[in-house]
Structures are given as structure tokens and as C-alpha cells.
Structure 1
């Protein structure tokens, strides 16, 4: 007898010329004794390629004469973004073609402090220090409606479903679009409120932060404040997680971003470290897995929420203090507004390839991502992935900050050792909040 090898013609031949060649593999681990060593080498090469192709900057939208103090993304139009500057100018940008499609030079008599789109319409709201709230249309350069307040406004946000919006001044005021005066006012203390945000999931819950280092939760249905925290440092901006209604991010003056769980609103659940100066703005990605922050140190940082680690650092030589940062609604790009009067577009993943990607390229990139994730704890791979191009000023400030943090930790350990104190060592989470109010 003669034993012949028989194979199916359909399983071993290509149907089209564009198909990849069929390769037969033996997955038995005995045949591959150096599998982990080979994968480590591939992970090292993937990390090097990641850093080599890390070019996050996409475009620069110039036109503002003064610094850009506020940004807003349209929740239903991926191409549109709204910006307001220090000279009272408002612009609507076409992010695809990198151009201005609508602008008003003197929308407000002073700094534009906030802009936000109105749901299910092409209109948007703006506030400034001239004590006015204005409603703007897509093609009309004069305001469609104007609401006058008693004091200068610092922030504005619109309800997700109802025709209501909230403003921040010395009080938090809730307005109806069809009425000229506030329908409700929240006032815990007579202090300036710097930021206010509606919860995108639990739409009647809102949070605010003030100049008195306060962080307050409100319920529009109860017509009263729920909880209030007095933080150790001033909170500059707030952002809600769109996927988890209970998670709130706070950009603090102490160079950190704190994540709070409003169900147990006593101490932050996570601390995102890395900035070397005050954090001025913060925003969640639409997936709820990442946070972007802009700082006074002229850098943008992207944090991974599950690990609380800084994934990427973006900066340019000409970019000044970053006043506002936003994720686009597809989570693929970032928007930043800085003191140099420019709106910049960045890639959310620095090494991501723009344009058409073939199936083979996509599979290769996914495989490399898994390798970097699997071997990310290795010293050499971690060093390459976290190696970024930073200016000398940021490097020296980071080095000095690490020395100060080490000295502070050493002092705390010595205090506990030589005084015989029974309490545990205080962490950043414990020292972030000074007092809780009911």
C-alpha cells in the first residue's frame, strides 16, 4: 500500500489573487521552545515603532487674536467645534477642512467665559463677563436671544434633554430658555463659582466648583444642594464620565486631577498625577476610559483611568498655557485652546495611522498593541513607551517635583517612626479634602 497525502483544494488555495497566502502552523508549544523570548523581542520592536511613529499633532486652527478661554464640541456633529477668546470673539470651526465657518468679532464686550451647544438644534449659548447670556444661530451674526444677569458669568452648561441651562457666577442659576429670569437659584455660600456641569446620564444632577475651594453637588428636582466638600486646593474645572454617571473628574490647583465617586462623596477614589503646574481643564473621552487635561505648564496629558497612569504628553514649542481641552465625540482626536490664540487638533493615539487601513495592517496593529500591553511591565519596554519629547523646562520641573515628593514622604515616615503615632500614613486622597458639609 502507498499512503498519499490528500488535502482539500478549497482549504489550501486562494479564491482571489488579493487574498493572503494560507500558512500552516503547528501550535504545539513543544515545537516553539522560545516563544516568550520571541514575543518579548517583538514587543520591544513594537514599542520602538510606537515611539518612532508618535506624531500626534494634526492641525492648527488660527484666527483668534487673544487667548482661547473656552471650547465646546457639538454632540451630534463631529465636524463642528465652538471656541471663545479673550477679546470677545466666537468662532465655529470646520474640523474636517480646518477653517472657520462662522464668526462674530464682538460677541461679548469682554472675555468669553463659556460656550455650549443647545441639544437637537444648530444653536449654541455663550456667556461673558459683560453679564449677558446670548443665543446664536448657525448663519446669523446677531444674537437670537439675550438674557441679562446681575453679575459676570464664569461658565455655562445646557441640560441634555430639557430646554434649560445653568450659569455660574456668585450663585448657580438655573434658567428656562423661554423665560428672561432664572427659575431657580442655588446658593450655599456667597462665593464665586468658576465652573458648573450637568450630568449627561442623570440629567438633573449638576456639580459646581468655586473660588472658596468648594466642590458642590446639586439636584434640580430637590431644589437644593446635596453635598459640599471643601478641598485643600482650588478646583478649576469639572467633567462627568459619560459612561458612569457617578464618576466626576476635578482639575485641581495642586497639579493633580481627582476622580470622585458621588455615591460616597468624601474622598477622591483616584489621583491622576503628572502635571508640574495647575491643571486648568479636564474632559472625559466618550468611551469613559480616558481623561485629557490641560495645564498651566503648557502641556496636555492623557490619563488611563483603570491604571491612573499618564499615557501620553503633548506639547509644542509655541503652545502657551492650555486653558481648555476636549475629546471629540468619536474619541479619535483632541482639541486644545491655549493662551497663544490657537486651537489645535491632536490625535488621541499618537501613533495611529490616519486614512484608510487595510485588514492586514489592522490585525498587525492589534497584535502589536497586545504585545505592548502584555510586556508593558518590563523595564526596557516601559522606558521606551514612556519616553517623550519634553522641553528642558518641563524636565527640570518634573525632576524638582519628584525630589519634593520624596522628601515629603520621607518626612512623614520619620514622623510616624519617631513619634510612635498609631495612625496610618496620609495619602494624597486623604489630604485632598479638608471638610465635608451636609
Structure 2
């Protein structure tokens, strides 16, 4: 993996990066309370920084059509933005009683799910900004990550309580028992593109791959990182997983064998790699970290 470009502008840690569905734009959320939208080809900003949050922006996610962006913040709110204009859409989504750590759009773009240090998940109507149903209770500690299944039927969440939980996205209720295997907090969780598998990373420095149907570990624990695994993402074809860690490195793993196939690469500047994601064509990896930058890497997997 080779460094392609570095985007500078944030004045604090970049906690989250997200690529638009067509791969043309990158959104980044930072501890400087702003969101920036970058041109993935030129590395230049497409608009002025998005301002409105009053505390760390912990998570950002593009809508499936790429026209909107949602963000989560330590100011207890979720917000919606128009990507073209950089303007906030509607009022802040309020309901969580503590910091919001994670946010994701449903595959159809009609729902948003968020997770918070108040130990709950919440569902929101992406058009009206209204809460859908009551908060989802089940975790006994902070909710650190959320993701919709590709078919939109389920939501998964990772928590400081060391478990992963499944939720029925329509009925808004927990499904089955929590997934246990990690020895510490589960930070990132992600579905494979086909929805058959789930990948998780943990404070215990390992990565696990789970069968989404049987909910059993099918691969792992994968060892290589020397500190907390903060972020994981499947490649678009589901063959690889990229991970970022507190050990300042990025690794790419074979999703079937669990072997490291590329890396570890130092994040150029050191510090925590908070967020990693594959581009839609699988040829690049985007990362954000405590060095306050967004970086684009050539995956070099061919």
C-alpha cells in the first residue's frame, strides 16, 4: 500500500471518514467540531467546512444516493447535511442523553441509526428527522458502532460491554442473544457486502469474523495489531478487510483465510488510526487519525 495523498485542514483528530457511493468525495468528522468534504481525486475541499456541532464529530456517513450526509457528535445530537450546498438539513436530531458515538444510513436511505454512551440505539426518519419508536435498550455500556445489514432488515451494534447485538430494524427490538467472544470492548462492526458475514474489532487488539446467520465466530481471533482496533471495513468484493489501530498501523487481511496480505503500514505521522474505509472500486483506502489528516492510499492488491 502506497500513500497517494494527504488532506490537511482539520485542527484536531479525524475520528471518522466516509466515501460517497460513487467514490468521488470523502467526508471527514473531527474533534474540531467540523465536517469537511473533499474531492477524492484532487484532495481539495468541495465546500466550506460544515459547522453546527458544538463538540467532537465522532461519526459521519453518506446517504446511499450520495446527496446527504449524517453526523454524530459528542454534543448529544445527530445532524443531516446537504452535500452539494454544505448546509444543514432541518433541525438537529435530539433524543440521546449523552455523547453520540456512531451513525449509519439504512440501505434505502430512509432511516438512520445512531448509538450513544447513554447505552442505547435510536432510529430516525431520514426525511422528517423524527425519532422512530423508543430507544433500543440491551447493551449494558456505551454503544460504539452501528451498521445496517445490506438488505436493511437488521442492525448490528458493538459495545463497551464486550458484545455485539442484533436488532430487528423494522420491529426495533433485539434479536437473539448477544455475540460474545472478544475479551474487551467491541469498537467497530461492519457487514460484508453480501450480508453473510460480520467483522468486528476490539480493545483486545483482535479482529473476528462471524457468520451472520449462525452468529458464530468463523475466523479469528485475528492477531497482528498491538493495540485497540478502532476501525474495520470490508472491500467491495468482500475478499479483504482493512483495519486501523491505536498502534498507528493499517493492515489488510484476507477475509477467507485471516492472513495479513498487506501491511502493516505506519500512518505517516504516527498516532491512532481512528477510521479506515475502502473506496467503492476497492483500489484505494482512506484513513483518518490523530495526526489531524485524511489520507488516501493505493491498496495495491492486484
**TM-score, normalised to structure 2's length?**
0.78
In structure 2, the residue matched to 1:239 is 147
Contact 1:254 1:277 in 2 (8 A): yes
1:122 alignment counterpart: 24
Structure 2 CA distance for aligned equivalents of residues 149 and 285 of structure 1:
33
Note the 1:309-320 alignment, pairs <5 A: 309-316=216-223, 319-320=226-227
- On the 8 A contact 1:115/1:156 being kept in 2, the answer is yes
Q: Does 1:167 align with 2:77?
A: no
Report the alpha carbon displacement of residue 138 of structure 1 after superposing the two structures with TM.
3.0
- What is the DSSP-based 3-state SS (H/G/I as helix, E as strand, rest coil) of the residue aligned with 1:263? coil
Judge conservation of contact 1:270–1:308 (CA < 8 Å) in 2: no
Structure in which a larger fraction of residues adopt strand = 2
Q: Residue 69 of structure 1 corresponds to which residue in structure 2?
A: none
Aligned-partner Cα distance in 2 for 1:295–1:346? 16
The answer on whether the counterparts of 1:102 and 1:138 sit within 8 Å (CA) in structure 2 is no
Alignment partner of 1:215 is 2:118: no
CA distance in 2, matches of 1:166, 1:285: 21
Deviation at 1:120, TM superposition (A): 2.7
Task: Tell me the distance in 2 between the aligned counterparts of 1:137 and 1:317.
Answer: 32
| CA RMSD in angstroms, aligned pairs only | 2.0
- Alpha-carbon contact 1:213-1:233 (below 8 Å) kept: yes
Against the structure 1 CA distance between its residues 272 and 150, is the aligned structure 2 distance closer, same or farther, given a 3 Å change threshold? closer
Cα deviation, residue 139, structure 1: 4.1
Measure, in 2, the Cα distance between the counterparts of 1:283 and 1:193: 18
Contact 1:302-1:310 within 8 A present in 2 as well: yes
Distance (Å, rounded) in 1 between the aligned partners of 2:21 and 2:216: 34
In structure 2, C-alpha distance between the alignment counterparts of 1:248 and 1:150, rounded to whole Å: 26
| Counterpart for residue 349 of structure 1 | 256
Query: Does residue 147 of the first structure (1) align with residue 50 of the second (2)?
Result: yes
Tell me which protein shows more helix as a share of its residues: 1
Q: Offset of 1:325 from its aligned partner?
A: 0.8
1:40-99 Cα deviation digits (max 9, x unpaired): xxxxxxxxxxxxxxxxxxxxxxxxxxxxxxxxxxxxxxxxxxxxxxxxxxxxxxxxxx21
Q: 1:230 to 1:100 in 2, by over 3 A?
A: same
Unaligned regions of 5+ residues in structure 2, if any?
262-302
Structure-to-structure mapping, 1:19-418, within 5 angstroms? 98-104=1-7, 106-145=8-47, 146-151=49-54, 152-169=56-73, 170-184=76-90, 185-200=92-107, 202-227=108-133, 228-231=135-138, 232-242=140-150, 244-316=151-223, 319-350=226-257
- Contact 2:206–2:224 (CA under 8 A) maintained in structure 1: no
Give distance in 2, aligned partners of 1:240 and 1:207. Answer: 8
TM-score normalised to structure 1 length? 0.55
* Structure 1: gaps spanning 5 or more residues: 1-97, 355-438
Mark the CA change 1:248 to 1:317 in structure 2 (over 3 Å): closer, same or farther: closer
Choose 1 or 2 for highest CA Rg: 1
Distance, in Å, in 1 between the alignment partners of 2:191 and 2:197 is: 6
Call closer, same or farther: CA 1:150–1:267 in 2, change over 3 Å.
closer
CA-CA distance at 1:282 after TM superposition: 0.2
